[in-house]
Chain A
């Protein structure tokens, strides 16, 4: 180890993104978000504190938050070059297009049934 101090230092800098401590921090965040989801599903909704009209959007926001932590930290995307981040994120926006189209379409299916 001591014979290659420059090399190890180089390495440490390159992968500064994910230290052991950071990995566990991200794990605790994911666990906490899941716990919040369970609290809503098992306590708040059954006890009529909130309806599913309120709960469902919250679930989706929390899910996207979890996705951000998994992709950003576990998959290391947050620490990649801007070009790679854009190349991965921009195509995903097409999925939003499909969501909009099929949501619209499913409104039409409701009308067909009546």
Chain B
């Protein structure tokens, strides 16, 4: 009798043969990825609904006419400047986040704390800008289910659509804008709160004791995702 193991009985060592994680990523990180995947579906549903309604509309409020003020500085004639600032703040806070993760890999506690604080400040700045943007639109008469008076509404459309057209699609714009940017802003707010909790834990030395700053990486994933969503919101509300 041969003692050689037949080929089928040999212990396999491929990534999917069992015994090890084929993704070689920590469990919590995989779960964060799949949560973000589900969140991506939610956001894309909202954005695709927006796209379908806008695509089928007879007229749509023009972004370069609606978003042309910098709250507190310029009232008219500066399209995209304010939202450009918001985009820059969010990308910048993404960079500080990834620098915090990088510092975590080296186990440099102090650096992690400083980069995390930078990220939190960026998050608050973005939320502040969004509050200004919302209050500006609100003062013009936009809100969920409400639009500016007719003479004001006329100045927000290119061409000469009928009154009924402007009322219908003005409402659609208002509802979609506040829902989608509101949902995104809520994500930013949650991110800031979680960032603060993580920073407190870093300061307390929780992760130093644990021996890894994986939690910083996980909240980092979430934070970059929020930035990613903003990239899409920015394109489809402000540019297109």
Contacts and interface: CB of A to CB of B under 8 A. Distances in A.
Interface string B87-120: 1100110110111011001100000000000000
B176 interface: no
Contacts, number: 122
A84 B24 CA distance: 9
Contacts of B97: 74
B99 A20 contact: yes
Given A23-B98, A102-B52, A106-B51, 5 more contacts: A11-B106, A56-B240, A80-B25, A81-B25, A103-B52
Contacts of A9: none
A34 B95 contact: no
A92 B45 CA distance: 12
B53 interface: yes
A15 B88 CA distance: 27
Interface in B21-47: 22-25, 30, 33, 37, 40-41, 44-45
A96 to B, nearest CB: 10
A103 B55 CA distance: 8
Contacts of B92: 27
A103 B50 CA distance: 11
B128 interface: no
B33 A84 contact: yes
Contacts of B52: 102-103, 105-106, 109
Interface string B47-64: 011011101101000001
Nearest to A100: B48
B228 A67 contact: yes
Contacts of A113: 56, 58
B121 interface: no
B141 interface: no
B231 A70 contact: yes
Interface stretch (B146-154, B177-185, B188-196, B219-227): B219-227
Contacts of A38: 80, 84
B232 A80 contact: no
Contacts of B106: 11
B35 to A, nearest CB: 12
A114 to B, nearest CB: 10
> Which are the 7 A-B pairs with shortest beta-carbon distances?
A106-B56, A109-B56, A106-B52, A102-B52, A84-B23, A63-B235, A74-B224
